[in-house]
Structure 1
Amino acid sequence: MTRRTRVALAASGLALAGTAGWLAHAQVGGERGIAPVAASRDIQVSGIEVDVQADTGLEAREEAWLEAQVKAWERLDGPDLPESRIAGLVSAIVIERERLGPKRYVATLGVVFDRQRASAFLGDGGSAARSAPMLLLPVTFSAGTQLMYEQRKDWQRAWAEFQSGQSRVNYVRPQGSGGESLLLTFGQTTRRSRVWWSNILDEFGAADVLIPIAKLRYTYPGGPVEGTFTARHGPDSEFLGSFTMRAESPDQLPAMLERAVRRFDAVFQTALAEGTIRPDPTLNVQTGDLNPAIQRLVDLGRSLRVQDERQEEVALEPTEASDGAISAAPINRPPPEGSVALYTVQFQSPDAAAFGAILADVRETPGVRSTGVRSTAIGGTSIMTVSYSGSIGGLAEALRAQGFTVQQGATALLISR
């Protein structure tokens, strides 16, 4: 190899390394991620429309703000108070849209009342218990793509700017920048593996997941935008509700999405009140209650294990016939004649077809009386219980004869193909 060739190869290697580094940075860099606003427990009333004329535009704006405060107080069903007293309860005015002319002010405003001061007239409306922390994953369907945090989208921005402090739902809103854009993708919402979900929820300090989906259809460039919105919950993507909205032009799309966020929050709060939204116990069995059927299987397995241990202790006790010697306990001793034992079998289930095929093959194994699914994890490790007329060693041999690779533990088996 000539010196010129070695130099060329070295330069090519450096170029490839630099390209790989640039690609890795490009996957997490760029304009993505919107930091959510800080949640406040103050009382906010949005969508107050005002249209006021005065001698100057500034005077019209001041009068419009006073009018908006009174209208907001009326929406809260507050008692009759002077305008000055109502103004003393206001902590902020949120300008949603405004147009200021020489003598006219037209706007849509939001009024924020200080909860501590206003509660003396309205009562304490924030004493209701809030939900467990819920990871929020806003998905946008548009032009044949499904995006979450890969790009900055109006749907993500609407949720980031939503003032969630008044909601009973405790939203956990990721920023979506850096590595979060690689971890939180639409593909994650289709996973059913509890291992995957548990890792992600632990990363963000959440107990469960909420998935608001916005499917946007642009009728023609510059024309109306039709939105179909679907609310889903949990690792199994449980359907909660859906609704439709329409924006007359792309310029009105952000306003439509703001309304959709408030509609979603109402759907989630209703589901919370009905008991539909609650942490899935399969995500963290240490903090949740097991399904009663699964709990019965666990209790049965524990009782069978205690019986086996007791029988082994009896077999090891010295007898008169053994003259004080300890007899060797039999290995893989089968259950009494005519009875069956219940064993736990774990198996890899990469997809639904593999899951069904393994269940069918285990059921057809000689000696197997019945099977029951204990945990389903498509893309992960599923668990079944097997009633077998023999020892766990005999079940392992029978499954090997069916073509399975079997790893045998003290009380369970792990099979694969």
Structure 2
Amino acid sequence: MRRFPTQQPGTATGRARTSGRKTCRWLSGLLAATLLLPAGGVAAASPATGLGTADRVEVTVPARVATAARTSRLTGGVQERQLRKGETFWLYGQLTVGGSPASGRAVVAQKKRLNESAWRTVGSDTTNSSGRYRIRIRAGAVYQYRAIYRGSSTAQASWTPRIGVGLTTADRTMTSRARQMGVALGRPTSGTRQVTRSVVSRSYEHGILVKVNRSGRVRTWWVHGGILREYRERRGAQGALGAPLMDPSCGLARGGCVQRFEGGVLYTNADGDEASTGLTGVRGEVVAAARSQVGYTVRHTPGNGARYDWHSKYNAWARTNAPWCGLFQSWFFKASGHRTLVPQSTTWTAYRDTVRRTRPTGSTPRPGALAFVSYVASGEASHVMFVVQVDGSRIKVIHGNTWGGGTLPAGRRGVVEQWVPESQVLYYAYPAY
């Protein structure tokens, strides 16, 4: 496992020079396919408002696609319909085909606001031997949710009516949070522990609950898995990260999880990559995911024309053998759960032009900006870096497909975090965090 220290804004950790001989042309990652309803459209049941008080909602709807395949039936429910923003909940149910439980079938969860027409995919699961699924979701606003089984050559498609989930600002005690999470949290394995004057924690079979009392408002958050391991190594709520601000967002690329804390963001994934940052919010989530890749290298053999050894893991992810500086950006934005913040294009020129057309640009460096530079005679942008810190006339960047101005061994290119002169940047583009 590679470990990288938290970088607080304004703290310089080193200097390096960028290479003047690298050019990046790339193919974007695959766009996530948009799931569409079958020809029958939305189920006839009227949508839930998301403002009810029932502890559990269970709904069913038969498929209405006229084919020779067997009829499927999908149920869906949530344990609680009034959540605090940032809390985890599960959309769960069962799929049957021809009246029997259907195992090994993909079920997808989607959400939309009441005034929206388009649905967005938020998670998926594969049914178990009993045909049951559980899809993990982190509450962010008042949404309607539904589950969809898309069908196959032997089974018709089916989907649930809309299930409304609303938000509340009421206090959340540790007892009520444990009840809301149920078996996903498991049984307690310790008593409560006073961590700081305003923070109390308790261990369970599947993580810890951290109750935070700030200005008379009580919230209880879940920390678990790789995030919990790294959080403990950083002294938990007593360390620089402080208390959590919400549950982790998991199920990301490469089994990734990202969680916000009062003092920054922590990211881990199933590959053993992890990093933290003192930046907060969405920008902090993106920076932490990018920083987790620093130190990754790949063999590079120059001098054979247009064909190089571009076989990085980002190439494998996107299924292309193209140069990968922008491809790396696509990867870590998606890995943090924010793939839509950067455009997806099939060539470097299309990427560069799409950014210029769809994103604000300017000459002011700021953390989270895309920094375009030129290493070609024409003076056009040929490489892109990601700004994580600004200090006067220099910027700290994370970028891929670079030899880091000679900081990497000969014959290697990789992901580097380094200081570069701000003067070499042609322009900046600003994602809408």
Q: TM-score, normalised by structure 1?
A: 0.21
Q: Of the two, which has the highest radius of gyration? A: 1
Report which of the two has the higher share of helix. Answer: 1
Structure with greater contact order relative to length (CA < 8 Å, sep ≥ 6) = 2
TM-score, length of structure 2 as denominator length: 0.21
Q: Write 1 or 2 for the structure with the bigger share of strand.
A: 2
